[in-house]
Amino acid sequence: MTLSLKRFDLTGRSALVTGSSRGIGLALARGLGEAGARVMLNARDAERTQAAAQALREAGVDAEACAFDVTSPEQTADGIADIERRMGGLDILVNNAGIQQRGPLLDAPEAVWAEVLDTNLTAVFRVGREVARRMATRGKGRIINIASLMSEVARPGVGPYAAAKGGVKMLTRAMCVEWARLGITVNAIGPGYFATDLNADLVADPAFDAWIRGRTPAGRWGDVDELVGAAIFLASDAASFVNGQVLYVDGGVLAGL
Ligand code: GCO
């Protein structure tokens, strides 16, 4: 491997990806594993997470599973402690876990607002704090928060999600300015529109599908594997002086009207 490519090598690194039993999280876990990292999958569903880890192992990735609910302070504290014991210290955290609940803000129930903000923003803070406390003792770490194009723009019907993802952008910067001196870089990846389970209803809607293809300069939905390169870069030595940034992987959506 040339010196240039070695900067992207994650061999010997340990990574946790939250919300990684499927979709973007699973793609990122597989990609970090293919770049050499030992990966820990996480989601609430233990059976699905174990099955996903088994499938990655069969594909040659060093993968394990640790099911816990990132919206539970107790489960998160216990889960991170367990993972640190099993992996001998985390080098990389990808805060990916997230949900979507669409509907008009005027009618938004308190419970929907609370659940979306708790999962998509508060859990990023909670897991980040638990892992950063341990990374700080080692003087190094990489944290990658999954933001969204909704960190910059909104559309009708996704108010709680957009508010949360806007918060993820600023939380990323807040973590950066406090934790950089601890040897930790904190950046975000902002996906555009990807054909995932979370967007299944949108992909199946001919009008929305046509709108996305017209609104996206690339003229198509993204494939989750197209997010992997950004994650490997931000997790690697190649990004040692990149901090507090949001890297949008959106086919050009945010570049223009
Ligand atoms: C929606 C979608 C979006 C995107 C997500 C990608 O309802 O418009 O769920 O929110 O999928 O933001 O980052």
- Report the residue count for the chain: 257
| Ligand 1 midpoint to CA 117 (Å) | 15
What are the two backbone dihedrals, phi and then psi, of residue 62, each rounded to the nearest 5 degrees?
-80, 95
Over residues 243-253, mean pLDDT: 98
Reported confidence tier of residue 33, pLDDT bands at 50, 70, 90: very high
pLDDT at 229 exceeding the cut of 80? yes
Q: How far is CA 56 from CA 60, 95, 108, 229, 234, in A?
A: 6, 19, 39, 18, 22
Q: Which sequence positions are flagged as catalytic?
A: 161
User: Would the pTM of this model clear 0.85, i.e. be above it?
Assistant: yes
**3-class SS at 92?**
strand
pLDDT at 2 exceeding the cut of 90? no
Over residues 162-174, mean pLDDT: 99
| Ligand 1 midpoint to CA 102 (Å) | 10
Q: How far is CA 107 from CA 102, 144, 157, 162, in A?
A: 11, 33, 10, 16
**3-class SS at 235?**
helix
pLDDT of residue 3: 79
Q: Which atom of ligand 1 lies at the shortest distance from residue 194's CA?
A: 11
| Ligand 1 midpoint to CA 248 (Å) | 13
Which amino acid is it at 174?
A
Helix %, strand %, coil % for the chain, to 5? 55, 15, 35
pLDDT of residue 122: 98
pLDDT of residue 169: 99
pLDDT at 1 exceeding the cut of 80? no
- Structural Rg of the chain based on CA atoms: 17
Domains of the chain in sequence order: 3-248 (3.40.50.720)
Q: Which atom of ligand 1 lies at the shortest distance from residue 161's CA?
A: 10
pLDDT in tens, 17-28: 999 999 999 999
Q: Are 50 and 129 in contact (CB under 8 A)?
A: no
**75 Cβ below 6 A of ligand 1:** no
Structure tokens at 193: 């529109």
